Structure 1
Amino acid sequence: MTGVKQAQFLAIAISAGLLGGAYISEYGFGLFPCEMCWWQRWPHFAALGAGVFALFQKPAQVWTALAGLAILTSGLIGGFHAGVEYGWWEGITGCATLGSAVDVMNPAAAPIVRCDVAPWSLFGISLAGWNFLFSTLGGIAILALSVRATGKEKAL
């Protein structure tokens, strides 16, 4: 498998996996997203689209690198959000939101979710912290594979 194909697979797998986990947490376990949680999801939607688009369009390295940048962006937002949850700094908004898109239709049923409270953690790391770790490392790996593949193409 070439470096570009590896990067494409990583981009699609990371974004699909993290979005899938977010939706399972929300709809399966009732961990509704706050505003900053949503901010972390949007780049993954973009990365998923760019990763799939890279499978069919040329130059694939460009689309794959864009997916990597989007994933890295989500990771950085996750790092900021984790810092807010851990009390390292203050968030930039009052950060409370309706629970989900479905709840917008019935606001009375929607819980208020605060950004400065981690609803769940594993080994002391919140969901935002895990997103920071997976997305930042994954985004860097995708970018490195894309750049390496571009360099090899130019060398040929």
Structure 2
Amino acid sequence: MTRKNLMLLAAAGSFALLAGAFFFQLLGYAPCKLCIWQRWPHGAAIAAGALVGALGPLTLLGIIGLLGALTTAGIGVYHTGIERGFWEGPSDCTGAGDTLAGMSGSDLLSLDAPVDIVMCDEVAWAFLGISMASWNALFSFGFALIWFLALRQRA
């Protein structure tokens, strides 16, 4: 495969994962905070791929795609660790809600609080015992490898 084709393949993979995430959202699986964070680097990889299609396989675009894939894979690993209880996640989307001691009475009675918070430490959907965050990490590491292989090829 040519350098350009490898870059386009990796970007298409990010596009497919991002489209899948939006499809699951349409099916009623609302994303948590970390799920949203995982989407942005895919967007960078997709943009890099679009520019590769328009401008050719520039090294800078390959680096952007590689960094995007590695970033979303890293967030996916972090998210997976939170889901499996290996470490704590952000306090605003994890836990049982039992840390109310620091809140005032007006905070507790406020109607401005969101009612549909999706918890980052709960697996909303899994296939073969692997959560969406874990699948994202696995596939994204694969896309990072493709970006890396593309960068190693001659332009």
TM-score by length of 2: 0.80
Q: Which amino acid aligns with 1:9?
A: L
- Offset, 1:6: 2.6
Give the greater-gyration-radius structure (CA): 2
Matches within 5 A, 1:124-139: 124-139=129-144
- Offset, 1:126: 0.2
Structure 1 residue runs of 5 or longer lacking an equivalent are 97-106
Structure 1 residues 59 and 7: alpha-carbon distance in aligned structure 2, compared to 1, 3 A threshold: closer
Q: Which residue of the partner structure matches residue 18 of structure 2? A: 19
- By percentage of residues, which structure has more helix? 1
What secondary structure is seen at the aligned counterpart in 1 of 2:116?
Answer: coil
Q: Which amino acid aligns with 1:70?
A: G
Moved more, 18-27 or 55-64: 55-64
1:118 matched to 2:108: no
**What is the count of residue pairs matched by the alignment?**
138
Q: Which residue of the partner structure matches residue 106 of structure 2? A: none
Take 1:134 and 1:85, find their aligned partners in 2: how far apart are those partners? 18
Q: Which residue of the partner structure matches residue 31 of structure 2? A: 33
The structure with higher relative contact order (CA 8 Å, sep 6+) is: 2
- Offset, 1:64: 2.2
- Offset, 1:93: 3.5
CA contact (8 A) 1:72 1:140 kept: no
Structure 1 residues 56 and 110: alpha-carbon distance in aligned structure 2, compared to 1, 3 A threshold: farther
Q: Which residue of the partner structure matches residue 93 of structure 1? A: 91
Q: Which residue of the partner structure matches residue 50 of structure 1? A: 48
Runs of 4+ that moved beyond 3 A: 107-110
- Offset, 1:65: 2.6
Take 1:36 and 1:45, find their aligned partners in 2: how far apart are those partners? 15
1:10 matched to 2:15: no
Structure 1 residues 21 and 110: alpha-carbon distance in aligned structure 2, compared to 1, 3 A threshold: farther
Q: Which residue of the partner structure matches residue 79 of structure 1? A: 77
Per-residue CA distance 1:18-73 (angstroms, 9 max, x = gap): 0100000001x211000000100000111111110122225623202311210111
Q: Which amino acid aligns with 1:15?
A: S
TM-score by length of 1: 0.80
Q: Which residue of the partner structure matches residue 149 of structure 2? A: 144
Identity percentage of aligned residues: 40
